[in-house]
Structure 1
Amino acid sequence: MRNWMLAAVAVLALSACEDGTETHSGNGGYLSDEDSITVTGSRTRRDTFSSTSPLAVIDAETVTEAGLVDTADIVRSVPDIQNETPEPETETYLAYRYAYGLRAPAEAVRPLVQQHQQACEAAGPSLCQIVNSNVTEAGSDRVSARLVIRAEPGWLTTFREGLEADAENAGGEVTSSSQSAEDLTRPILDTQARLDAQIQLRERLTGLLDRQGANIEELIRVERELARVNGDIESATAQLRAMRARVSMSIADLNYQSEIRPISQSTVNPVGEAIRDFAGIVLGGLAVMIRLIAGILPWLILIVPAVWLLARWRRGVNGRKAAEKAK
């Protein structure tokens, strides 16, 4: 039985080869010279194609029974149309920002700030840049400072890991820390796409300028458009450079505060200042009175005689009235 089945398979294969060499030009042909049918059923154009007769189609079960090939081999030979190549992941552009709060004795705040500032300057502008630095002293025991740096992520990681040790060596501690990230992926990709489109447009406009037979009016319009496109390219390039620089360098914002003591020099300062200002306050009040008298005295010279004359006149009038009544 096995030999008969092998013979039948061989006959069918020979018949398929003979039918496959024929050319069909009418509607009764299996496929035309111009088309082929893919696995998904869509039509794709190709230059040459050898059609296969339906007689050559043998199911997997028949071939397996004949002992020609295993079913698993047939399954493996069929391409997996569902296993599509995954799209490459889009690169993410994140701009990181770190914030730290440090507390140290008042006399150690300024040296600690200078230590961190010198570390950034020693690294060089390619690794670290100082954005802002200031120190404020509201008294001998009230000192605050702020240092903002922009640094390369690798260098900044090492710097951040040493902050706690620096604070402890200064007699203080790190009181707070936070991290945030700004996603610049979409702005960068959009700007890059717009820049590529503008560059292609510039190439086309440049080609129009080199075209033979263009009149002056057309050339002027092309040159104006080319100038506008060049301006857009420069603007997009600057924006893209700034955003990429922001991504390549992270920001660290350091805030320093002096320790608050229960009884400090600033606590008793108001009493001492009041005692020192006592004599000044008394003398200041006396000076105000002297200035007041000095301002009123000229008016008294005029007002006092006028009041005396008015009073004398009224006494004379009243005396005459009394004499007339007595008569």
Structure 2
Amino acid sequence: MEQAKMRIPGKSAPAMRWLLAAALAAAALGCAKHAPEAAATSDQAAAASEAPAAGGGDQAKADLGVLLAYEHRVRVRLSDDKIAARAKAVQDACTGGKFGPCAVLGMNQSGGDSPSASLQVRVVPQGVEPLIALAGQGDQIAERGIQAEDLATAVRDNSMRRDRLSREHARLLEFQERRDLKMADVLTLSERIAEIESQLQAAEQEAAQQQRRISTQLINFEFGSTLGQERSSEIGEAVRDFGGIVAAVVAFLIRALAVLLPLGIVGGAFLWLLLKFLRARRARRKAAGG
């Protein structure tokens, strides 16, 4: 009996390593097993988040399975003395929450002969149109564009990643509670748990970033001078008129040639006859003098 008791500690180290490897494998298999369920859950969540926007129409937005992040680009042309005041008015409206939650992400302004300003804000969807209307006041918007990025796939993949990491983290924590673990096994588990927690934190931050991009919209304002626009318009108009001006000059030359050609022929014939007459007269005078 004493010999048997002395042999048990010698066999425990390989056994514990085997149990640790089995626990890690079980955690990975468990996460892989539930990956399809996480994908289905993510798709259902995406559909549910889009359902209120559908409004009960026949072509519901949720049927598309998209999660869109919108970005707007607005160019405003003003007189030089109004650029700074207009950019400041839009900035104050955003920071003051006049049209809903809004954050200023960037602001640039320059003076001189060609003053300009730029402003980047992130605002809730209901504040987009009021802010653009305030910036352009209708007829002062020179250009406007919008683009959207579909984040549905990125959101689904990140949700599956978070689910896998959470399940693996929970299983390793349960295994860490065992009292018969060796110090080496405890250190290995601790390192793996710390690594998973770091990955899980990164996934949570990515999910928050994605949610912010979906629930709010980005607007890039550019305020410029109408003087530069007028100069550009004059150059563009001159370029557009270039072909017409060349065609008009060529047409004028053709008409002038058509008019001058007969006159040239008649004049040339008259000059030839005159010279011939003068030569003949000179020849007669020489003959008479001789």
TM-score (norm 1): 0.48
User: Are the aligned partners of 2:74 and 2:144 in contact in 1 as well (CA < 8 Å)?
Assistant: yes
Cα offset for 1:214?
2.5
| CA gap 1:125/1:112 in 2 versus in 1, 3 angstroms | closer
TM-superposition CA deviations, 1:110-163 (whole Å, max 9, x none): 111111111111107971111111221122xx2111111111111123323444
Alignment partner of 1:151 out of 80, 105, 123:
123
TM-superposition CA deviations, 1:154-191 (whole Å, max 9, x none): 112332344442x65xxxx1110000011111111111
Structure 2 residue aligned with 1:218: 185
Structure 1 residue aligned with 2:173: 206
Structure 2 residue aligned with 1:234: 201
Secondary structure of the 1:101 match is strand
Alignment partner of 1:113 out of 79, 82, 87:
87
Amino acid at match of 1:157: E
Structure 1: distance between partners of 2:85 and 2:99 = 22
Structure 1 residue aligned with 2:111: 137
Secondary structure of the 2:202 match is helix
Aligned length: 169
- Unpaired runs of at least 5, structure 1: 1-87, 264-327
Secondary structure of the 2:118 match is strand
Bigger radius of gyration, 1 or 2?
1
Cα offset for 1:212?
3.8
TM-superposition CA deviations, 1:288-311 (whole Å, max 9, x none): xxxxxxxxxxxxxxxxxxxxxxxx
Identity %: 17
Structure 2: distance between partners of 1:126 and 1:113 = 18
Structure 2: distance between partners of 1:111 and 1:163 = 10
User: Are the aligned partners of 2:93 and 2:99 in contact in 1 as well (CA < 8 Å)?
Assistant: no
Relative CO higher for 1 or 2, CA cutoff 8 Å, sep ≥ 6? 2
Alignment partner of 1:102 out of 70, 76, 81:
76
Amino acid at match of 1:92: V
User: Are the aligned partners of 2:69 and 2:149 in contact in 1 as well (CA < 8 Å)?
Assistant: yes
| CA gap 1:89/1:196 in 2 versus in 1, 3 angstroms | farther
Structure with the largest fraction of helix:
2
Structure 2: distance between partners of 1:128 and 1:153 = 10
Amino acid at match of 1:155: G
Secondary structure of the 1:123 match is coil
Residues 38-53 of structure 1 mapped to structure 2, 5 A cutoff:
none
Structure 2: distance between partners of 1:218 and 1:175 = 67
Structure 1: distance between partners of 2:77 and 2:133 = 17
Structure 1: distance between partners of 2:194 and 2:206 = 19
- The answer to whether 1:176 aligns with 2:143 is yes
Dislocated runs of 4+, deviation >6 Å:
none
Alignment partner of 2:96 out of 119, 122, 130:
122
- Unpaired runs of at least 5, structure 2: 1-61, 232-290
Alignment partner of 1:186 out of 153, 160, 174:
153
Residues 68-79 of structure 1 mapped to structure 2, 5 A cutoff:
none
Structure 2: distance between partners of 1:128 and 1:206 = 41
